[in-house]
Amino acid sequence: MPLTGFITCKSADEAHKIASELLKKRLVTCANIVKEISSSYWWHGKIENAEESLVIIKTRTGLESKIIKETKKHHSYALPAIEFIKTETDRETKNWILKETTQ
C-alpha cells in the first residue's frame, strides 16, 4: 500500500540531504521539499515557533522503520517528527512506487 510521509527539518539544506539519502537507499520513490513553513509546537512544557522545511515522501508500507532509522542518522533534531499516512492512488502510480522502492 502506498504511503505519504512528512518530515520536518531545520533547513532546506537538511531536507535535501535527508531526501537524497532516502532516495539513494530506495526507501522512497519521490521526495518533495517545501522550503519554508512556519511551525508551532509544544517542546519542554512551552509553545515554540520555528521556521522549518518539510520533506514530503512517497513510499510503501513496510519501509517505515527503515525510513525512520535512516532519517535519524542525518537529522539534527533530538526528536524529529516523521509521520506516515496511508494513501490511495491510481494503479500506475502505485506500481511506480512499488517498483522503485526496496522490499
Cell of 53: 522545511
Model confidence at 86, pLDDT cuts 50, 70, 90, reads very high
Strand blocks (E) in the chain: 2-9, 30-43, 46-60, 82-86
Residue 57 lies in a domain: no
For residue 42, being part of any structural domain is answered with yes
In this predicted structure, the answer to whether residue 84 has a pLDDT above a threshold of 90 is: yes
**Mean pLDDT over the full length of the chain:** 97
Residue 22's domain comprises 1-51
Which grid cell sits at 35?
522550503
Beta-bridged to residue 61, according to DSSP, are none
Q: How many domains does the chain have?
A: 1
Q: Compute the distance between CA of residue 10 and CA of residue 71 in angstroms, rounded to an integer.
A: 13
36: phi then psi, degrees, rounded to nearest 5: -130, 115
In a domain, 99, yes or no: no
Q: Would residue 15 count as lying in a domain?
A: yes
- Residue 22 half-sphere exposure, CB side, CA atoms within 13 Å? 34
In a domain, 66, yes or no: no
CA angle, corner 24, sides to 95 and 98, nearest 5?
Answer: 10
In a domain, 45, yes or no: yes
Residue appearing with cell numbers 520536518 = 8
User: What is the pTM assigned to this prediction?
Assistant: 0.94
Which pLDDT does position 103 carry in this prediction? 67
Is residue 47 included in any domain, yes or no?
yes
